[in-house]
Amino acid sequence: MSVRLAGPRGASAEPPLLDATLWRRFPSRVATFCLVELQKIRHDRSELLTRAAQPILWLLVFGETFNRIHAIPTGDVPYLDFLAPGILAQSGMFVAIFYGIHIIWERDAGILTKLLATPTPRSALVIGKSFAAGIRTIVQVAVVLTVSAILGVALDTNPLHIAGACLIVYLGAGFFSCLSMTVAGIVLKRERLMGIGQMITMPLFFASNALYPVRIMPAWLRVLSKVNPLSYEVDALRGLLIGTASHIALDVGVLVAAVVAGVAAASSLIGRLVR
C-alpha cells in the first residue's frame, strides 16, 4: 500500500506533471477540435455554395458597374482590381463572424458542457474552432480568385503570394471567429448573436478600405479604419495580389495581435455559456 506524505515536502508531484502533459498535448487537442468542426462540412456542403454566391455578386454587379463609371478614384489601378482583395477579405469575414452560433448550438445540444468538463484548456477549443473557420474561408479564396481571373483582374500568380494571401485570410477569419465566440459568451442567446452579428458586419466592412481608398474617407472614418483589423487584412491582400504599396509586416503584426487578443477574450467568456 502506498503512502502519500502530507505537507509541502511530501506533496505529490502529480498535478504539475499532469499540467505539463496536458500542455504537451495542446497541439493535438487543437487539431482534434479543428477536425471535428471540418467534419460538419461533409454533412452540409450547401453552406459553402451559398456563401460563395455573395462574393460573386459583389464582383459581378458592384465591381463591374463601378469599374465602368469610374466613380471611385483608385489611381492607375482599375477599380475591379482594387475591389477584388477587399471582397476576398469581406467574404472571409462573413463566414467567420457568425461562428459563435455554432458554440451556442453546441451548448443547447449539451456538447459544450461535456467539452468544457474535460481537462483540455478552453483556449484549445477556441483555437481549434478558429482554425476550422479559417479553413472554411479557403473555399472563398478559391471562388474569388477564380471569378477575378475570369473578369480579367490582373492578379499576381506567384505561388508564394497566393499562399501568403491564404494565410492573411486565415488570420482574418481566426480573429472574426474569435470575436463572434466572444460575443456569444456575452449575449448567450442565438437570436441576440445573429442580430449583433448583422449589426457589426456592415460597419466593419464599410469602415475599412475594402471598397474605397482611405484617402477619400472623411476624417472620422479614417480613424475607424485605422483600428479596424479588416483594413490591415485588405492592405496586405492588395500588396500580395495586385502589387500595390502596402505594409505587410505591420499588417501581419496587427492581425496576429488581434487573433491573440480574440483567443484570450473568447477563452475567458466561453464558460459563461454553460453556467
Residue 117 lies in a domain: yes
Residue 22 lies in a domain: no
What pLDDT does residue 161 have? 92
Residue 3 lies in a domain: no
- What is the phi-psi region of residue 110: left when phi exceeds 0, alpha when psi lies from -120 to 50, beta otherwise? left
What pLDDT does residue 23 have? 59
Q: What pLDDT digit, counting tens, does each position of 188-229 carry?
A: 888 888 888 888 888 899 999 999 999 899 999 999 999 999
What pLDDT does residue 42 have? 64
Q: 168: closest CA among 94, 248, 96?
A: 248
Structural domain that includes position 223: 27-274
Question: Does the pLDDT at position 6 exceed 70?
Answer: no
What pLDDT does residue 47 have? 63
Query: Taking all residues of the chain, what is their mean pLDDT, rounded to a whole number?
Result: 82
244 in Cβ contact with 252 (< 8 Å): no
Residue 125 lies in a domain: yes
Task: Tell me the CA distances in angstroms from 104 to 119, 135, 271, one per residue in order.
Answer: 21, 21, 11
d(CA 134, CA 141): 11
Residue 59 lies in a domain: yes
Domain count, the chain: 1
Q: What pLDDT digit, counting tens, does each position of 143-184 carry?
A: 888 888 888 888 888 999 999 999 999 899 999 999 998 998
Average the pLDDT over 26-39 and give the result.
68
What pLDDT does residue 37 have? 64
- The more confident residue out of 27 and 71 is 71
Residue 73 lies in a domain: yes
Q: What pLDDT digit, counting tens, does each position of 50-75 carry?
A: 677 788 888 888 888 888 888 888 88
Q: What percent of the chain has pLDDT over 90?
A: 30
Residue 19 lies in a domain: no
What pLDDT does residue 15 have? 39
- The more confident residue out of 177 and 45 is 177
Average the pLDDT over 234-239 and give the result.
94
Residue 98 lies in a domain: yes
